[in-house]
Chains A and B, each alone.
Chain A
Amino acid sequence: MKQGNKLKAVRKPGNRPAVRAALYLFVILMCVVILYPYFVMFTYGARNTADIMSGNVFPEKWIWANYAYVLFSNRSVVRYLLNSVFISFGATAIAIICGIPAAYALARMRFRGRKIFMAIVILSQMFSPVVLLVGIQRVLLTFGLNNSDLGLILIDAAFNQAFAIWLLQGTFRSISPEMEQAATIDGCSTIQSVTRVLLPMAAPGIVTTLIFVFINAWNEYTIAFVMISDDRLKPITVGINLFNGYNMIEWNYLFAASVFATVPVVILFICIEKNLVSGLTSGGVKS
């Protein structure tokens, strides 16, 4: 579609058959290796225990009931999936609501202290939540947010600020400020010029950022693992341990549930893949 004009420097790998063959071989090998764990997840999720031990590459008999079991039995993971949806939506909303004004200020205004702000942004990337676990726990306890989904949402949002600001800033910079200036001359306030002119034009970049933050929050494990002890609040990445017992791991159910935790985000990611490529270039947090 619009790839034609976007990808300026697509390189033709020469016409020598050997080069082309090597290229295709590499691509196929790469795809097979990447897809292998997903193949394992999917096929072993549809087996019974004996079949898992049997050493067959494909299931002897496909037991689709496993997939129904993890959703509808008394050991359902639906609640965990819904928790993940709620936490990820919350984190995404907060990250974007805080990120858009910040990215706008960084892209359009010049002011003292921008370096300090950028330093804080980079600092927030430097410390992964894991390294800060002890500190985060103290802070959440102070605010009474320990073992709550709101605490998890705020932390996910905070640690995604850097990427959100990076991507949004890149999007805003790629849009010429003339339209907003024109709107201001016509009597719009700054906020109106942003919400009515800039944001609609930046919609693709904003959607990319939304999905990106959503995926990060969905896949977050460590903070949830440490902070959430209430089983009713666990997101899917932690809740999946239901099938990961002390004595035995129920691989088939673990994998069936993993499929449900993986497929939605992979599809979302494929949707934004192309936008992400341009987003990564035009961003550039480094100052």
Chain B
Amino acid sequence: MSMRPPPEARSVFRDAPVSYPAHGICRCALLLCFFCSPPGCSCFSGDGPMQKKKKSAKSWRKALTPYVWLLPSFTLMTVMVLLPILTVFYRSFQKFSKAGKIKGFIGADNFSQVLHSAKFSLVLRNTLVWTVLVVLISTILGIIIGMVLNSEFKGRKIARAIVVFPWATSLIIQASVWKFIINTDHGALNALLMKLGLTKSAVNFTSSPEAWFAWEIWVGIFVTVPFVAFCVLSGLQSIDSGYYEAAAIDGGGFWQQTFYITLPLIRPSLTVSTVLNIIYVFNSFPIIWAMTKGDPASRTDTLVTYLYKLAFINGENGQAAAVSVISFLILCVVSAAYLAISSGGGDES
């Protein structure tokens, strides 16, 4: 059995397909209309040539209108986002003096230096482990919490408000608090466990770099789950309860309803949250910086903390730019692959 998602669950851009009538009156007008918005566009109404000339000036204005509306946003993003992107790409192919001055084009040298350094593969592996584990576990937990918050129980409003907390807290503060909680000597968790009688003596929660990294992943999950839960919740609330009533009449139990109705219908929400989370988690700096600064010897570094050290502590400008470009390419490939897989599966109807 296949459940087709309701129309509103599908892409919002699919409404009213854009079709330009092929009148062939005037190539110019057609081209113009191609640039402008068809609704109310009157250049195909079959007016005389004189009127058309008058109207085409109007149409030009009309054609430009959307771009005028977009201009402030476009300018802001061009200057503050696009320009830095281009700068990073440019610098990744340049040689730098020790003082940070550009010394000229050196081709792919920066990239080969980065790729051949011993630390890079370790950092790359850490980044993948970090991103995959945080996003995967957050998504699973987020689905469960979203579904729980969508069911009826006393104190539901309070629970929803509490789930928001980690989302609203600065990552640097959240990470600092957790760093204190898991401290061996005077950490709050040891105090609590000993008071409850669960342990006799203080537990060393962070005996190895791997343990530190695991705690960093835990904090990452802790702050990521609310976003997933709320995306799931928003997806769940757009589901028509008729689906569940129909399923209940047909004798579908909880698990069947979950797998055949709920999960397919919240898929658009999940796709958005997963793609955004892949990007955010991959790029997350404060948690690792606050807890270990990537130490010891890059064992807990991810690409962004590594990049920060290269650029601002070691002064390796060219290599830092190369790492930026590599991170960007990885993100592009991963996000595109994820979108292709998830939308490819969703469009079979």
Contact = CB atoms under 8 A, between A and B. Distances in A.
A139 B79 CA distance: 8
Interface stretch (B21-29, B82-90, B112-120, B128-136): B82-90
A128 B159 contact: no
Interface in A85-132: 94, 97-99, 101-102, 104-105, 109-114, 117, 120-121, 123-128, 130-132
A125 B77 contact: no
A24 B165 CA distance: 19
A34 B166 contact: yes
Contacts of B71: 101
A169 to B, nearest CB: 9
A109 B293 CA distance: 47
Interface in A1-59: 6-14, 20, 23-24, 26-27, 30-31, 34-38, 40-41, 44, 52-57
A134 B87 contact: yes
A268 interface: yes
B69 interface: yes
A97 B321 CA distance: 32
B331 interface: yes
B16 to A, nearest CB: 8
A127 B177 contact: no
B240 A8 contact: yes
Nearest to A113: B67
A198 interface: no
Nearest to A236: B170
A65 B208 CA distance: 37
Given A281-B238, A284-B272, A10 B88 contact: no
Contacts of A128: 279-280, 282-285, 304
B51 interface: no
Contacts, number: 310
B170 A8 contact: no
Nearest to A40: B188
A253 interface: no
A278 interface: yes
Contacts of A40: 177, 180-181, 188
Contact of B324 (A35, A55, A135, A155): A135
B170 A237 contact: yes
A255 B176 CA distance: 9
A44 B180 contact: yes
B160 interface: yes
B337 interface: no
A57 B190 CA distance: 9
A206 interface: no
Contacts of B272: 280, 284-286
Contacts of A173: 12
A158 interface: yes
A264 B108 CA distance: 48
Nearest to A30: B145
Nearest to A184: B40
B164 interface: yes
Nearest to B92: A134
B56 interface: no
B73 A127 contact: no
Contacts of A31: 158-159, 162
A262 B169 contact: yes
A154 B76 contact: yes
B290 to A, nearest CB: 9
A27 B74 CA distance: 44
Interface string B34-73: 1111110000000000000000000000010111011111
28 contacts: A8-B237, A9-B240, A9-B244, A26-B148, A27-B155, A36-B181, A37-B178, A53-B186, A98-B76, A105-B65, A105-B66, A109-B37, A120-B77, A126-B279, A133-B312, A158-B79, A221-B171, A222-B285, A237-B173, A255-B180, A265-B168, A268-B168, A269-B167, A270-B168, A273-B230, A277-B230, A286-B272, A286-B339
Interface of A: 6-14, 20, 23-24, 26-27, 30-31, 34-38, 40-41, 44, 52-57, 94, 97-99, 101-102, 104-105, 109-114, 117, 120-121, 123-128, 130-136, 138-139, 154-155, 157-159, 161, 165, 173, 190, 215, 218-219, 221-222, 226, 237, 240, 244, 251, 254-255, 258, 261-262, 265-266, 268-270, 273, 276-281, 284-287
Q: Which 8 A-B pairs have the closest CB atoms?
A: A135-B84, A128-B283, A158-B80, A269-B168, A102-B73, A135-B87, A105-B69, A219-B170
Interface of B: 11-13, 18, 34-39, 63, 65-67, 69-88, 91, 145, 147-148, 150-153, 155, 158-174, 176-178, 180-181, 185-186, 188, 190-192, 194-195, 222, 230-231, 233-241, 243-244, 254, 268-269, 271-272, 275-276, 279-280, 282-286, 289, 303-304, 307-308, 311-312, 317, 320-321, 324, 327-328, 331-332, 335, 339
